[in-house]
Amino acid sequence: AHVKHGTTAMYPTLSTSTVPMIETACKTCQKLMDEEDSPVLGLHIGGPYLNPAQARVLDPELSKAPEPEKYKPLLDNNPCIKRWDEAPELPGSIEFIKACCKHGVLASIGHTRATYKDVVAAHNAGMMHATHFYNAMPVVYKEHEFKVPGTVESVYAMQDMTVEVIADGIHVPPVMLKIVYKIKGVEKTALITDSLAYAASEGDVSAEA
């Protein structure tokens, strides 16, 4: 389905899952990567180390703080893992980010309520990307008479951080897409669809949508 629409390389994405589910996905992904001329370059894990308050359509009950006894064996035994999304305000985040970097895994901020302090600490530890920029993360807010920078403004302030935006004009309005372009530019911006599984289905799927 992806090749049909012009995709030449891909990183299959796994949403918030249990460890057994991640292990199964790793085995499947590695098998696909080992095929000749495979377009699959690695696995992208989206959770479970996300802020439950920002889980949205993901399962908030599975969202939790990083657990070294679980993520370390996964990183040690599965070189197919290439990216892992995480909310850096959670306890143990810095150790998790450093472990990802050690294994050549891109640590990315997502489904988060991170403050400027959280983003700076995560960036210094090696977190260099933002997942679904603007979505499932706060913008500037007021605390009494003070303005507090949200995750979005904090990522903007980290000039070398890259962002990805769901560029359908709905998840992020056009005027905000223009702001991303003006601040981050082409080199540090990825445009994505956030397409769901039924996008490859035949016929009318409007009922399921």
Amino acid found at 163: V
Contact 151, 113 (CB under 8 A): yes
Helix (H, G, I), strand (E, B) or coil at 1: coil
Number of C-beta neighbours around residue 160 at 10 A: 7
Q: Which residue has the higher pLDDT, 161 or 3?
A: 161
* Residue range 23-47, pLDDT digits in tens: 999 999 999 999 999 999 999 999 8
Distance CA 11, CA 39 (A): 9
pLDDT digits (tens, 9 = 90+) for 111-132: 999 999 999 999 999 999 999 9
pTM above 0.85, yes or no: yes
At 198 the pLDDT is 65
| Pairing between β-strand 81-86 and β-strand 106-109 as defined by DSSP bridges | parallel
CB 51 within 8 A of CB 63: yes
Helix (H, G, I), strand (E, B) or coil at 195: coil
